[in-house]
Amino acid sequence: MKTLKELEAIRQKTLNELNLRKNREDGIRVVVGLATCGIAAGARPVMAAFVDEVNKRQLTNVTVSQTGCIGLCRLEPIVEVYLPGQEKVTYCKVTPDQVGRIVSEHIVNGNPVMEYTIGNFE
């Protein structure tokens, strides 16, 4: 038999899992370029690292999704981060071990990791 407390625990846990089905105005979006060029440059592990990191920190307002080729194939893997009400920030040549910093500094604290952004590559 489940008590009210246990039900609440199930609710929280499942809600985390269902989060991406909800339309949220306050949502943060991480978009990884996953066209042929992105995949060849190693975008899949980057994507996986984002999904992992977001789940570990229980960031329920963050969705990680994929997009096609942005047209800057030489700079792949490319990751775009959209914070509500702000310009998007584009990261280039992202590797899985950079993901932790992007999540903690940018997504959690709101400070883009400038040294990984596109400005440093152009």
Partner 1 sequence: MIYRSHVLVCAGTGCTSSNSLRIIENFHKKLEETGYDKEVQVIRTGCFGLCAAGPIVVVYPEGVYYSHVKPEDVEEIVNEHIIKGRPVQRLIYKEHDESGVNTTLNDSDFYKKQHRIALRNCGMIDPENIDEYIAFDGYKALGKVLTEMTRDEVIDTVIRSGLRGRGGGGFPTGLKWKFAKAPESDVKYVCCNADEGDPGAFMDRSVLEGDPHSVLEAMTIAGYAIGAQQGYIYVRAEYPIAVKRLRVAIGQAREYGLLGDNIMDTGFKFDIDLRLGSGAFVCGEETALLASIEGGRGEPRPRPPFPAVKGLFGKPTLLNNVETYANICQIILNGPEWFASMGTEKSKGTKVFALGGKINNTGLVEIPMGTTLREVIYEIGGGIPNGKKFKAAQTGGPSGGCIPAQHLDVPIDYDNLISIGSMMGSGGMIVMDEDNCMVNIAKFFLEFTVDESCGKCPPCRIGTRRMLEMLEKITSGKGEPGDIEKLEKLAYNIKAAALCGLGQTAPNPVLSTIRYFRDEYEAHIYEKRCPAGVCKALLQYTIDPEKCRGCSLCARKCPAGAISGEIKKPFVIDPAKCIKCGACMEACKFGAISKK
Q: Contact residues for partner 1 (CB under 8 A)?
A: 1-4, 7, 10-11, 13-18, 20-21, 23, 29, 31-36, 39, 47-48, 51, 55, 63-69
User: 63 forms bridges with which residues in the sheet?
Assistant: 29
Closest to partner 1 by CB, 20 vs 114, is 20
Q: Which amino acid is at 67?
A: T
Q: Rounded distance, CA 37 to CA 32, Å?
A: 12
Q: Give the 3-state secondary structure of residue 32.
A: strand
CB of 38 to partner 1, least distance (A): 8
Closest to partner 1 by CB, 13 vs 88, is 13
